[in-house]
Amino acid sequence: MAGYVKTGIDGLDAMLNGGIPEGNQVIVEGGPGSGKTLISFEFLYRNALNGATGIFFSFDEEPDRVIRNAKAAFYELDRIDEMIESGKMLVYPDPYYTTSGTQYELGKLLSAIESKIEESNAKCVVIDSLAMLALMAPEPAHFRKAIVEIITSLRKRGVISFFTEEMKSPERDRLEFSPEHFVFDGIITMYQTGEDFKRMPAIEIIKMRGTSHSMITTPYEITPSGFKITAAENIANYD
């Protein structure tokens, strides 16, 4: 039986009833600035502290900026440099385009991602973002096939991956699903709800194969020591 991998994120493992089942491929979606990049970074950091190597593939921002922003937001997490210098956390740019400089081919890009995972023996992977991969596919059918292929291969390795995805609306009642939502094992959604000038970030686990998870939309905060997800009372006993 496959085990669970803790995200290490305060409140999230309780919502997941322990953690993410090994081999699960997860979409982390939200509006701009909801914290998709930061929560994914923290997931790798927490696991790196426990000895599991993680790779962050950053398509939208330069790796140095990702690290700089994470260190600025999480200035109380004082082992980020150590994890990066020791190779426990790898932050890469697009592994295909930057090395070849040729035209995009999604298949080749996905193979390049797999080689990096294999070479580093990573257990946790972040692809930031899925939206960027979708833009590289010549047509939706091609994209879906390519996605199914990569997530099948990552599952077989027992790797847990977070694929970030942009949501057009940050409101819960305007949630829409696209075909790729059905092929992933998990969906974690970050909303920015509220009225007028008040905005309340909240997180929901829409789907997580292999675990009974919280169904409650739960407020979160991005703090210098990481995300704080304030679990509702009725799920507190999951710890």
Task: Tell me: cis bond preceding 100? Omega within 30 of 0 counts.
Answer: no
Site string for ligand ADP, 102-131 (x = CB under 6 A): ------------------------------
What DSSP assignment string belongs to 158-196?
A: T-EEEEEEE-S---GGG----HHHHHSSEEEEEEEE-ST
Nearest in space to 222 (alpha carbons), one of 38, 79, 49, 76 = 38
40 binds Mg ion (CB under 5 A): no
Of residues 69 and 120, the one with the C-beta less far from Mg ion: 69
Using CA atoms, how far apart are residues 57 and 161, in angstroms rounded to an integer? 11
Using CA atoms, how far apart are residues 74 and 202, in angstroms rounded to an integer? 19
37 binds ligand ADP (CB under 6 A): yes
Question: Minimum Å distance from CB 61 to ligand ADP?
Answer: 8
> Which of 30, 95, 186, 226 is in the footprint of ligand ADP by CB under 6 A?
30
37 binds Mg ion (CB under 5 A): yes
Token couple for 33: 């600035």
3 binds ligand ADP (CB under 6 A): no
Of residues 19 and 163, the one with the C-beta less far from Mg ion: 163
* Alpha carbon distances (Å) from 130 to 106, 167, 174: 12, 11, 20
* Alpha carbon distances (Å) from 205 to 23, 110, 137, 185, 213: 17, 27, 28, 11, 7
Pairing of strands 124-128, 54-58: parallel
**Nearest-CB residue for ligand ADP:** 33
Nearest in space to 203 (alpha carbons), one of 39, 32, 56 = 39
Q: Residue 35's binding partner, choosing from ligand ADP, Mg ion, none, with beta-carbon cut-off 5 to 8 A by kind? A: ligand ADP
Q: For 50-122, where are the alpha helices, taking DSSP H only?
A: 63-73, 80-85, 97-100, 106-120
Question: Minimum Å distance from CB 69 to ligand ADP?
Answer: 6
Nearest in space to 55 (alpha carbons), one of 190, 203, 154, 146 = 154
Q: Residue 25's binding partner, choosing from ligand ADP, Mg ion, none, with beta-carbon cut-off 5 to 8 A by kind? A: none
Question: Minimum Å distance from CB 232 to Mg ion?
Answer: 27
38 binds ligand ADP (CB under 6 A): yes
Q: Residue 140's binding partner, choosing from ligand ADP, Mg ion, none, with beta-carbon cut-off 5 to 8 A by kind? A: none
Of residues 36 and 213, the one with the C-beta less far from ligand ADP: 36
> Which of 5, 12, 14, 36 is in the footprint of ligand ADP by CB under 6 A?
36
Where along the sequence are the contacts to Mg ion (CB under 5 A)? 36-37
Where along the sequence are the contacts to ligand ADP (CB under 6 A)? 30, 32-38, 72-73, 222
